[in-house]
Structure 1
Amino acid sequence: MTAVYGRTRSVIETGVFLTRLSRDVSLPQHVREQAKRLLRHYPTEQAVRLAGQCEAIRRDESLRLPLSSGTLHPILATWPLLDPFFCDSMDLDTPKSIAPPALAT
């Protein structure tokens, strides 16, 4: 599975790409309209980063939970097991722990 920083960067870059497509007058009108339709419900960069911040808070708070899962509500007991979907890093090009895979040429 994709690393969280790569997934975050990819989602943000896809939004930028769709925006460029929607504004490129050299493309056929139906292509620009499809890009606009897709963007209508696509997350903004700010929304993706906010999701990453919320997941970072969840991760930090889950580390404070007691070690005994018997005292926790079942949904809280699974928090530490969940991998984040997005990251909150503003610098997505330099991941903190794992280097991005090399691009195939």
Structure 2
Amino acid sequence: MGKWISSKEFAEKYNLNRDTIVKSTSRADKKGKNFCSIRFNILYFKYSEGVGGYAGKILQIWNTPLSTKQVEAIEKGYPVKYVLEEMGEVVESANTEKHICSENSSKDAVESRD
């Protein structure tokens, strides 16, 4: 299950420049969008209010990049919580099953050669 992380944490995790992330999200925000694309990663972001007297907006990014199907679902109006949590788990489990199936098929191929 995903969670919101700061832009600094996201930049470190995916080896991206934080300034690039800030510029890209700013351009998308001006267009009224909540997601942007950086190096084949589709990011879902939000600005939250800071705490304190001089605090401004804090850029937060969903910790896993979105798939194109998730972006299409958000654009069609599906609830964001469903798309990020439920649909994300389905995509992750499908990738895991695909990986397990490919491991099993490679084991079968090795056994058949023996």
Length-normalised TM-score, structure 2: 0.26
Structure having greater relative contact order (Cα 8 Å, sep ≥ 6): 1
TM-score (norm 1): 0.28
Q: Which has the higher strand share?
A: 2
